[in-house]
Amino acid sequence: MTSPDLAERPGALDSRPGAEWWRTAVIYQIYPRSFADSSGDGIGDLPGVTAHIDDLVELGVDALWLSPFQRSPQKDAGYDVADYCDVDPLFGTLRDFDTMLDATHARGIRIIVDLVPNHSSDQHVWFQAALAAGPGSPERARYLFREGKGTHGQLPPNNWESVFGGPAWTRVVEADGTPGQWYLHLFDSTQPDFDWSNEEVREEFRRILRFWLDRGVDGFRVDVAHGLIKAAGLPDYTPPAEADSMGGEEPDVPYWGQPGVHEVYRDWHRILDEYTGDRALCAEAWRPTADDTALWVRPDEMHQAFNFPYLQTEWDAAELRTVISESLRAFPAVGAPSTWVLSNHDVVRHASRLALTAVNPQGHGIGPLSVGKPIADVGLRRARAASTVMLALPGSAYIYQGEELGLPEVVDLPDDARQDPTWFRTAGERYGRDGCRVPIPWSSSAPAYGFSPTGISWLPQPATWAALARDAQIDDPGSTLSLYRALLAARRERELGGGSLTWLEGYPDRVLAFQNGNVTVIANIGSAPFAVPHGNVIATSGPIHDGMLPVDTAIWLEVDEA
Ligand code: GLC
């Protein structure tokens, strides 16, 4: 079934040409396996999403991004796709997808889906055909097979490391039982990289884009968008010690940010333009600076690119001022919005990350034996303040499920519960990303906090989460959920997403102060309370005492005219 054009629906979205919803939208990331489980198997599913759409309407978001739900052996939680055009039975059926999409659109909310073009699952028919067909075949040419080094080809073709740890190459056994070629996998060995210099690969992804566009999706979040093209000759590369997993701080890597990647997105942009209704592409491209990230959103490429330089900025006023200023110069310089983000399914949740006291590279995660573990109440206070700042910034913003509840990273997951390939490929040296993926709590007294009717949950939920459940927060004006609802309502009403930022003069260095429209935003990142100007308080991330803004607190004010 193809979804009818948005304009024909009740509650139709604004799909006029030029409306460009993605420039200002607040987009809520659903990580389906941890959102809501309707079947009771302990893994969230698409009917679970449909059942909670009204809760997301009430929260006040404009669109949803769904992490992968396509057919997959789930070796990397669905980022190992075996069939790009079907729903994995774990999550439901294509009919469930259509029902969810229709229900979402009927409420004026858009949906973007995850597209994973850098690699497939090793169970994809193409990879199975490549194994069977042997060296030199057109089937192998869809992936990156190479002969090994050494007299018997027993050494990998180069020294690249997998993002999840260990070598980025695996040797296959050929049909006659002898050790054979090696294939490249920047991620797990079950995730072979495609060869994007092969026109057949390009054509296949055009088909996949059209499949979902025809079904009515509003766009795609593009996984590993900086990784598709590898430098000619696959030269050796050694990352710095303690590097971020996705290369976010390395300028010059033979598999990240190669110039040829941009032509792929120009091609996709033209495909999206064939469709009505303002569809959008969002790049997951981990790059060192806003200027570099902005290359992905030049006018004929993608529409959004996650602002990871912002996500990776510490809780420090000077650094925040710099990254925000650079972002609001670099993205508009190419005609794009900045796409703000603080959390997702690959990073330590910001309610914990902002209170870490030791370096923690992206992707490494934290666990029971980590040094520099966060103090929970400091983390939550900072997270609420950081979100209060982010949601006042002009541009688009992404929220990761559960951050509106103030969920922390789960640090004490038992070893035998962990599932991230990072944990296995580094023999437990890196905890990985499971701690930000624990199923979210809906109801404080229900089994699995309302996540699943049977009480089963694919990762164990902490005993402390009853107090964080949605139903425990919804009527509490001081809760994190109430804060997000207030911020999102005021952001929409005052059109802050389409506004502009002016830094305010005369504030101490460690106080961030800016104006967007009629809203004055002040964040105290110092060490002593700060006296705020008189005015109408629109929202505050924590209690104000006698006109003093406490440390790690942010406020939105309509300041009285002098
Ligand atoms: C992206 C995803 C991450 C996944 C990886 C490999 O970074 O966000 O979860 O493991 O790509 O697909």
Q: From the CA of 247, how far away is ligand 1's center (Å)?
A: 13
pLDDT value at residue 10: 36
Examine the domain organization and report whether 308 and 384 are in the same domain. yes
Examine the domain organization and report whether 129 and 90 are in the same domain. no
CA distance 255 to 257: 7
In a domain, residue 77? The reply is yes
Residue that the structure tokens 């199923």 belong to? 439
Contact 114, 66 (CB under 8 A): yes
Domain end position, chosen among 140, 160, 184: 184
In a domain, residue 48? The reply is yes
pLDDT value at residue 310: 98
Which CATH number does the domain housing residue 329 bear? 3.20.20.80
E strands, 174-328, in order: 179-184, 219-222, 280-283, 304-305
In a domain, residue 57? The reply is yes
Examine the domain organization and report whether 11 and 75 are in the same domain. yes
pLDDT value at residue 12: 44
Q: Which residues of 78-99 are buried (b: 16+ CB within 10 A; e: fewer)?
A: bbbbbebebbbebbbeeebbbb
Examine the domain organization and report whether 155 and 209 are in the same domain. no
Examine the domain organization and report whether 457 and 515 are in the same domain. no
From the alpha carbon of 79, which atom of ligand 1 is closest?
A: 12
In a domain, residue 490? The reply is no
pLDDT value at residue 1: 35
Tell me the DSSP string of 407-455. PPP-----GGG---HHHHHTTTSS--SGGG-SPPP--TTSGGGGT-TTS
DSSP 3-state percent helix, strand, coil across the chain (nearest 5): 30, 15, 50
Q: 259-284 pLDDT, tens per residue? A: 999 999 999 999 999 999 999 999 99
pLDDT value at residue 13: 55
Of 346, 347, 362, the residue with max ligand 1 atoms within 8 A of its CB, to mutate for a pocket test, comes to 346
Examine the domain organization and report whether 356 and 395 are in the same domain. yes
Examine the domain organization and report whether 78 and 148 are in the same domain. no
Strands 530-531 and 548-549: antiparallel
Examine the domain organization and report whether 251 and 357 are in the same domain. yes
Strands 339-341 and 396-400: parallel
Examine the domain organization and report whether 129 and 114 are in the same domain. no
Average of per-residue pLDDT across 413-430: 98
Q: From the CA of 507, how far away is ligand 1's center (Å)?
A: 40
Q: Which amino acid is at 306?
A: F
Average of per-residue pLDDT across 133-154: 98
From the alpha carbon of 433, which atom of ligand 1 is closest?
A: 9
In a domain, residue 207? The reply is yes
Which CATH number does the domain housing residue 522 bear? 2.60.40
Query: How distant, in Å, are the alpha carbons of 68, 192, 463 from that of 84?
Result: 9, 15, 37
Residue 2: pLDDT above 80? no
CA distance 157 to 336: 39
Q: Is 116 in the pocket of ligand 1 (CB under 6 A)?
A: yes
Q: Is 79 in the pocket of ligand 1 (CB under 6 A)?
A: yes
In a domain, residue 495? The reply is no
Q: Is 76 in the pocket of ligand 1 (CB under 6 A)?
A: yes
Examine the domain organization and report whether 68 and 217 are in the same domain. yes
Tally: H helices and E strands in the chain:
14, 20
Q: Is 434 in the pocket of ligand 1 (CB under 6 A)?
A: no
Strands 179-184 and 145-146: antiparallel
From the alpha carbon of 344, which atom of ligand 1 is closest?
A: 8
Residue 6: pLDDT above 90? no
What residue numbers bound the domain in which 552 lies? Answer: 501-559
560 confidence band (pLDDT: 50, 70, 90): confident
Q: From the CA of 302, how far away is ligand 1's center (Å)?
A: 19
Cite the active site residues: 223, 284
Domain end position, chosen among 133, 153, 184: 184
Which residue's C-alpha comes closest to atom 7 of ligand 1? Answer: 224
Q: From the CA of 220, how far away is ligand 1's center (Å)?
A: 14
CA distance 481 to 145: 49
Average of per-residue pLDDT across 516-532: 97
Examine the domain organization and report whether 274 and 383 are in the same domain. yes
In a domain, residue 492? The reply is no
In a domain, residue 230? The reply is yes
Of 67, 121, 223, the residue with max ligand 1 atoms within 8 A of its CB, to mutate for a pocket test, comes to 223
Which residue's C-alpha comes closest to atom 12 of ligand 1? Answer: 79
Tell me the DSSP string of 139-163. TGGGBTEEPPBSTTS-B-SS-PBPT
CA distance 400 to 344: 5
Domain end position, chosen among 142, 158, 184: 184
Examine the domain organization and report whether 381 and 526 are in the same domain. no
Q: 352-390 pLDDT, tens per residue? A: 999 999 999 999 999 999 999 999 999 999 999 999 999
Q: From the CA of 235, how far away is ligand 1's center (Å)?
A: 23
CA distance 69 to 46: 8
Average pLDDT, the chain: 96
Q: From the CA of 30, how far away is ligand 1's center (Å)?
A: 14
Number of domains into which the chain is organized: 3
pTM for this structure? 0.96
